[in-house]
Chains A and B, each alone.
Chain A
Amino acid sequence: KEDFAGHQVLRISVANEAQIQKVMELENLEHLQLDFWRGPARPGSPIDVRVPFTRIQAVKVFLEAHGIKYTTMIKDVQSLLDEEQEQMFAFQAR
């Protein structure tokens, strides 16, 4: 089963079209294996992207270098998935 330990979901706030283009550049870099939960739309509309643990530093450096604001929406994807699984198994056990 896919393990998402350390994966984070970043919420990116783009201020203008130029910043959207920058984020689209990221989207096209397949080796980063980014998973856009909410894709780039327009300035003011949030972009949510799941970033594998090994790519987080590079992505954050890229965003900061281009003055693109972001927050961390989910600090560790796997921990939420573990909770979800526990809850499902608890029900099945009952």
Chain B
Amino acid sequence: AASTKTFNFATYHTLEEIYGFMDMLVAEHPQLVSKLQIGSTYEGRPIYVLKFSTGGNNRPAIWIDTGIHSREWVTQASGVWFAKKITQDYGQDPALTSILDSMDIFLEIVTNPDGFAFTHSKDRLWRKTRSITAGSSCVGVDPNRNWDSGFGLPGASNNPCSETYHGKFAHSEVEVKSIVDFVKNHGNIKAFISIHSYSQLLLYPYGYKTEPAPDHAELDELAKSALKALSSLYGTYYEHGSIINAIYRASGGTIDWTYEQGIKYSFTFELRDTGLYGFLLPASQIIPTAQETWLAIRTIMEHTLNHPY
């Protein structure tokens, strides 16, 4: 594409095309968007985060990531659409404008670049990282079981051949460690939204224990209003709840770690669909999925802005 205006958001793209899109977006909006490299993957690919900022220094921030499980293609595609939407709506949409006038937004579109490249080159249904585990012929660690929060407890596997293998130690995966270091160095992130697919769920901590999160009531209320906004567009039905109650026990998960870092508004989305296509959601559903999800994300961002802590 010659510019983001001619970029086709209604089809899936390769890693190179998405990285090219990011560079175009930065070039088109240098006052608003910048690209940070927060690390390099196991196979040496750069890990990029887009920063949307209207100034200030180390402002309170909102983090959004997509694609941590590489086969969940509708999430990276939605991330691309979110990036363009932010540049289109700043100055137009009063809610987003007030958010960006006081806060920064960090968006990591391809959170597992090695896995994503592998889904295009060898195995479309690859989920994990591509790190080699000494002593095993199986490859990769589940990056959503590798965080230092209930790490290694029930809700993950210690078998390197399992899709939910937690890795040899917490933050063993550089794709995870890069985010950990970024979050710790930044120190002022107030909301953390990690986007997966599928099964249409909005989840909050905890996944590794049944004890409710101290902010459970507020998170549940916020999830409800976010989903009200989401379903207002196409009527898409989501369920919500804590990870362990809404689906199953999962240890070493992203948002359990971010919540335990003090980031109160920690959520995971599981986007479309509920089970006609699963991970193979037709590209025709990318834009509607991104549009409805954006309404929920914006609700969470507004709440974060209006409830400083």
Q: Taking beta carbons and an 8 Å cutoff, which residues of A are in contact with B?
A: 1-2, 4, 9, 11, 30, 35-42, 45-46, 48, 50, 73-74, 77, 80-81, 83-84, 87-88, 91
Contact = CB atoms under 8 A, between A and B. Distances in A.
Contacts of B11: 87-88, 91
B30 interface: no
B163 A36 contact: yes
B248 A42 contact: yes
B27 interface: no
B125 A1 contact: no
Interface string B257-295: 000000000000000000111111011000000000000
23 contacts: A2-B123, A4-B125, A35-B163, A37-B198, A37-B278, A38-B198, A38-B275, A38-B278, A39-B247, A39-B248, A45-B247, A46-B275, A74-B278, A77-B125, A77-B280, A80-B280, A81-B124, A84-B124, A84-B283, A87-B283, A88-B12, A88-B283, A91-B8
A65 B164 CA distance: 28
Contacts of A39: 164, 247-248
Interface of B: 8, 11-13, 121-125, 161, 163-164, 198-199, 247-248, 275-280, 282-283
Contacts of B13: 88
B277 A74 contact: yes
A83 B280 CA distance: 10
Given A9-B278, A84-B280, A88-B12, A40 B124 contact: no
A38 B199 contact: yes
Given A73-B278, A87-B11, A2 B122 contact: yes
Contacts of B198: 37-38
Given A38-B199, A42-B248, A81 B12 contact: no
Given A39-B248, A84-B283, A91-B8, A73 B163 contact: no
B197 to A, nearest CB: 10
Contacts of B123: 1-2
B12 A74 contact: no
A84 B73 CA distance: 11
Best-buried of A2, A73, A83 by chain B (most CB within 10 Å): A2
A9 B121 CA distance: 22
B273 to A, nearest CB: 10
